[in-house]
A and B are shown apart, each in its own frame.
Chain A
């Protein structure tokens, strides 16, 4: 009886083995598909394996590709300009980003690279190099969890303090009111520290009898010093109390559009008692008994 049971079990085992063998032969494509890396879906990305698994790549891992610029390379890590260090797989493949084939480039500072991350291990399994910027594939948020850091991140009070600027271009319109005695044909300029304080850096357009304007784009967060001139520093703006102006300050905030309204009360070369008679008629009614030669 026992002998029959043993034979039956052998037969059952043989049949099971035969079935398993047939089942494996019937679905070879399924096994091959499982071994091809494919971009991970978001559900998988949200539950990455622990970083401790970096040394043992998982055969079931998927691949995420991220493009960036190399800050440094070595010691089993590649560093990107985001400041992140990513572990390299022991068998990391270095190739050309354009062809996918071999490359003469070696990973180093300033080169651009497309890193392929095995989501199972979090390690970089392929590094495709280029001297030119590569198009984005996965976002930084998709890979930053693979970054290796010894310390536990904690907030930086320097960064949360004060207003944050996103650096987006903000069109800024400067609208300035000039003294009523400003000659109608005169040009008004904006002199800024960003233009080396050239007195004719940005020419403005007349809006009406008293106003000029110009629009320029600045990145938010820009701190601009500026003054108004009539084309030279000898004809720069003067405060209402007759004292030369200190530069005006503009801090460009995050906004879609900004209008800056200023008033110029006096010009430095303006003589309140010089009659506007064309300044050229050499007649005795010129209150200055001799003409002052212009020096600029």
Chain B
């Protein structure tokens, strides 16, 4: 077992190293493709082919007479939606001052502005604006357009990358309006109507500048690297060598592999179209302020996110989150977590790991899911030091607090889940499911009964769910929609174990909703959960009076009600009042009442997530939750919520929570 754990640890580290190498390679590739290297020189770029019949090429500004307004060229067809090519791949902006407005996703540049497109075309001017989301820019004031086949003065130039159109106001003998299609500056389309807001300059008065820079390298729809960057951190602008901004439409960049923290300040510092590296400054009540690192590697169909948390503390957590849509009907998900205690990055004194893998195959009207969960209680080889305990030697690393536990519990299951189907013409739908699996721990028994230890268990399960549609009980004919609605659900599941025993779970719930006004809604719900663990003749053996139960997560043994024989009930009654007078204000009041058996155990102070907190077993009998949200600006939202526990265990009264959320 020891050797196996060590092999697992090595394999795991190799896997991490492999992912890291892949990421480095990706970063390098992205950089060589479009990053800091200046665009190719003009001479090396061939002009784009003209798409239509056009007037004679304009070689330079000295020959404006060649343009014959009467000779209107034929209109080209709209270009493909996503044209490619170096000209549209990336561009660079240099200026005396570049400002980025994160609330608007607009970049502004002033003073000696030079825009260099991917094909080497250079446009100089006084003022520049780029809308990152619309992917179009305008540069104005004393324009000079220099391309391989054109050298033109102008008043303004606008580039619509997504449509492969550029609009230009040349300054020749008299002004004019030209349109360039597909980057063909030698064949302008004279007089062609231009979009109404082509040359509008955004009004950014009152907007907050996020950073100032002098150079921006833009990868449209993906990222911008600002070099250098003075970032607005509130009281002051703090200089950084560079800042990497990603605004990719790929939501996989938002996947988070870091554990929770009270506060987190991310700083993206490297990346490309498919990769992103982020440094975090975090705070929690245990480790205080500490750095962390997170790396994304994504594509349209996969992501790998690796994180290292509390880099400067002995207890470090390394997470890996992965997803791959192998085919449109097959996906793989993995989450691997290693927790190591060590000083610096030397050999840790202890290391544990948790891994969860899930393979999902879509089927017609159902899907299959293969799940595997593995715990590695100790990834390290068995140490030589030990003390003699009650049941033999207990090995440890350096000191007995870092004990060696070679356990490796794991569970494998295969589940089938059907689609939701309507039940005839009734306002009901049903869903079926089934599963079988096995759990194993070669060392510590999963369960003991009658003096027999069970290290391996098999199970199979079936379940069904019946749900109503939202039923209108009382319809309001006045047209003010003050209706009364009812919803209900019934869920029944049975699980057979090899031990043998079986567990029945029945969940019944219903909710009533009364709309008093479009802005005021009152909800009431009731749910009843019955769980029974049936051991037959061995019921009292499995659930003896005054038994204590061990929680593997918290490591605590708990004393439940002496009357508990394996049959529990949870009954909850919820009442909520939702008040949304406008988009800017919302309030929610919820009152919850619970009647549980066995009775709940009040909170004990434990390490939870990012700090210490109260962990209750079961629900407190009464709970009041208040929540209010206020939107002050387009992007600033204040959310205040508080929970009140009515003398539950004598520990808690208010559990306040206050959050400020930036919403765009």
A interface residues (Cβ-Cβ under 8 A, vs B): 69, 71-72, 74-75, 77, 79, 81-83, 85, 108-110, 133, 148-159, 161, 171, 180-181, 184-185, 191-203, 205-211, 215-217, 225, 227, 232-233, 240-244, 247, 265-266, 272-273, 275-278, 280-285, 287-296
In the complex where A110-B127, A243-B360 touch, is A161 in contact with B78 (Cβ < 8 A)? yes
| CB-defined contacts of B491 to chain A, threshold 8 Å | 180-181
Whether A72 pairs with B140 at a CB distance below 8 angstroms is: yes
B367 at the A interface (CB under 8 A): yes
Q: Which of A71, A194, A232, A294 meets B199, CB within 8 Å?
A: A71
Contact present for A291 and B551 (CB under 8 Å): yes
B640 within 8 A of A: no
For B616, what are the chain A residues with a Cβ–Cβ distance below 8 Å? 280
B568 & A153 in contact (Cβ 8 Å cutoff): no
A108→B126 contact, CB < 8 A? yes
When C-beta atoms are compared, the residue in chain A nearest to B641 turns out to be: A187
Contact (Cβ within 8 A) B447 A79: no
List, in ascending order, chain B residues with CB within 8 A of A156's CB: 75, 179, 192-195
Q: Give complex CA distance A174, B356 in Å.
A: 33
Contact assessment for A272 and B415 in the assembled complex, using a CB-CB cutoff below 8 Å: yes
List the A side residues contacting B619 at CB < 8 Å.
278
B533 and A285 contact, CB distance less than 8 A: yes
Q: Which residue in chain B gives the minimum CB-CB distance to A69? A: B201
**Cβ of B171 and Cβ of A74 under 8 Å apart?**
yes
> DSSP majority for the A interface?
loop
Q: Which residues of A contact B417 (CB under 8 A)?
A: 242, 266, 272
Does residue B334 face the partner (Cβ distance < 8 Å to A)? no
Nearest to A266 among chain B residues (CB) is B417
What's the minimum C-beta distance from A158 to chain B, rounded to whole angstroms? 5
**Chain A minimum-CB-distance residue to B356:** A292
12 examples of A-B residue contacts, CB within 8 angstroms: A108-B141, A149-B175, A150-B69, A151-B67, A156-B179, A181-B491, A209-B525, A210-B487, A247-B251, A281-B560, A287-B459, A292-B373
Are A75 and B171 closer than 8 Å at their CB atoms? yes
Closest to A202 in B: B663
Chain A residues in 8 Å Cβ range of B199: 71, 81-83
Q: B566 to A283, Cβ gap below 8 A?
A: yes
| A158-B485 in contact (CB<8A) | no
Please name all residues of chain B whose beta carbon is closer than 8 Å to the beta carbon of A288 when the two chains form the complex.
411, 439
- Residue ID in chain B nearest A241 by CB atoms: B362
- Pairwise interchain contact B583-A216, C-beta atoms closer than 8 A: yes
Contacts of B588 in A (CB 8 A): 205
Interface string of B191-211 (1 = CB under 8 A from A): 111111011110100000000
Would you call B420 and A285 a contact (CB within 8 A)?
Answer: no
**Chain A CB within 8 A of B655 CB:** no
Q: A108-B126, A153-B191, A154-B193 are in contact. Are A289 and B409 (CB under 8 A)?
A: yes
The stretch among B21-29, B325-333, B383-391 that forms the contact with chain A is: B325-333
| Bound-state Cα–Cα, A9 to B552, Å | 130
Known pairs A196-B664, A296-B259; A281 contacts B568 (CB<8 A): yes
> Are B487 and A206 neighbours in the complex by a CB distance under 8 Å?
no
Task: Report the minimum CB–CB distance from B145 to chain A (whole Å).
Answer: 13
Considering the complex, give the chain B residue whose CB is closest to the CB of A216: B583
The residue of chain B having its C-beta at the shortest distance from the C-beta of A85 within the complex is B175
Alpha-carbon distance A294/B354, docked complex (angstroms): 11
Residue B256 at the A interface, CB < 8 A?
yes
Distance (whole angstroms) from the CB of B99 to the closest CB of chain A:
13
Instruction: Name the 7 nearest CB pairs between A and B, nearest first.
Output: A151-B191, A209-B511, A109-B141, A209-B487, A197-B254, A85-B175, A242-B367
| B457 proximity list for chain A (CB < 8 A) | 289
Q: Please, which residue of chain A has its CB at the minimum distance from the CB of B578? A: A205
Complex Cα distance, B76 from A159, in Å, reads 12
User: In the complex, A2 Cα to B208 Cα: how many Å?
Assistant: 93
- Contact residue among A82, A157, A203, A233 (Cβ-Cβ distance under 8 Å from B254): A233
Which B residue's beta carbon lies closest to that of A161?
Answer: B78
B-side interface residues, number (CB < 8 Å): 153
Q: Are the C-beta atoms of A180 and B328 separated by less than 8 Å?
A: no
Give A88 to B413 CA distance when docked, in angstroms: 81
Q: Output the nearest chain A residue to B548 by Cβ-Cβ distance.
A: A282
User: Is B146 on the interface with A (CB-CB < 8 A)?
Assistant: no
- Indicate whether B314 reaches chain A with its CB closer than 8 angstroms: no
Q: Is the CB of A281 within 8 A of B618?
A: yes
Q: List A contacts of B598 (CB < 8 A).
A: 281
Please pick, from B201, B618, B663, the residue contacting A201 in the complex, using a CB distance under 8 A.
Answer: B663
| The one of A157, A210, A280, A287 that contacts B617, using a Cβ cutoff of 8 Å | A280
Q: Does A206 contact B192, Cβ atoms closer than 8 Å?
A: no
Q: Is the CB of A242 within 8 A of B191?
A: no
State the majority secondary structure of interface residues on B: strand
Chain B residues with CB under 8 A of A272: 415, 417, 433, 435, 463
- Please determine whether A85 and B580 come into contact, CB atoms closer than 8 angstroms: no
**Given the complex, which residues of A lie within 8 Å of B467, measured CB to CB?**
180, 210
Whether A152 contacts B568 by the Cβ 8 Å rule is no
Q: A158 CA to B78 CA in the complex, in Å? A: 5
Residues of B within 8 A of A283 (CB): 533, 549, 560, 564, 566, 568
Question: Does B255 touch A at the CB level, under 8 Å?
Answer: yes
Interface string of B253-270 (1 = CB under 8 A from A): 111100110000000000
Residues 461-475 of chain B: 1 if any A CB is under 8 Å from the residue's CB, otherwise 0?
A: 101010100100000
- Cβ contacts under 8 Å, B77 to chain A: 157
Complex CA gap A285/B639 in Å reads 38
A113 to nearest B CB, angstroms? Answer: 13
Tell me the minimal C-beta distance from B595 to chain A in angstroms: 13
Per-residue 0/1 for B162-173: is the Cβ within 8 Å of any A Cβ (1 yes, 0 no)? 010101010111
A241–B363 touching, CB < 8 Å: yes
Q: Are B331 and A152 in contact (CB under 8 A)?
A: no
Closest to B305 in A: A233
B493 touches A275 (CB 8 A): yes
On chain A, the residues within 8 Å of B121 by CB distance are: none
B639→A203 contact, CB < 8 A: yes
Q: Please report the C-alpha to C-alpha distance between residue A157 and residue B588 in the assembled complex, in whole angstroms.
A: 51
> Which residues does chain B contribute within 8 Å of A242, judged by CB atoms?
331, 360-362, 367-369, 417
Please tell me if the beta carbons of A296 and B529 are within 8 angstroms of each other in the complex: no
CB-nearest residue of chain B to A286 = B503
B169 engages A85 (CB within 8 Å): yes
Question: In the bound complex, do residue B566 and residue A289 qualify as a contact, i.e. CB atoms below 8 Å apart?
Answer: no
A155 to B178, CA, bound (A): 13
How near does chain A come to B377, taking the closest CB pair, in angstroms?
11
A191 to B173, CA, bound (A): 53
The answer to whether A71 touches B354, judged by C-beta atoms less than 8 angstroms apart, is no
B523 at the interface (CB under 8 A from A): yes
Contacts of A277 in B (CB 8 A): 505, 529, 531, 568, 570
Q: Given A77-B175, A208-B511, are A244 and B329 also a contact pair (CB < 8 Å)?
A: no
Q: Is the CB of B163 within 8 A of A158?
A: yes
Q: Which of A74, A289, A294 contacts B447 (CB 8 A)?
A: A289
| Beta-carbon nearest neighbor of B331 in chain A | A243
- On chain B, the residues within 8 Å of A157 by CB distance are 75-78
Interface contact B513-A240, CB-CB below 8 Å: no
B341 at the interface (CB under 8 A from A): no
Point out the residues of chain B lying under 8 angstroms from A181, CB to CB. Answer: 465, 489, 491, 507
Docked-complex contact A148 and B489, CB < 8 angstroms: no
B193–A83 CB distance below 8 A? no
Q: Beyond the given A275-B507, A276-B529, could you list 8 further A-B residue pairs with CB under 8 A, ordered by the A residue number? A: A83-B199, A151-B72, A158-B165, A184-B574, A225-B251, A232-B256, A282-B617, A285-B533
Q: Is the CB of A273 within 8 A of B493?
A: yes
Least Cβ–Cβ distance between B114 and chain A, in angstroms = 16
Report chain B residues within 8 Å CB of A148. Answer: 174-175
On whether the beta carbons of B253 and A197 are closer than 8 Å, the reply is: yes
CA distance A75 to B172 in the complex (A): 9
Q: Which of B521-580 contact A (CB under 8 A)?
A: 521, 523, 525, 527, 529, 531-533, 542-543, 549-553, 556, 558, 560, 564, 566, 568, 570, 572, 574, 576, 578, 580
Residue-wise, chain B 129-154 has the 8 Å CB interface mask toward A (1 for contact) of 00001000000111100000000000
A110 to chain B: which residues have CB within 8 Å? 127, 140-141, 201
Q: Contacts A72-B141, A273-B463, A292-B373; is A159 near B566 (CB within 8 Å)?
A: no
Q: Which residue of A lies closest to B330 (CB)?
A: A243
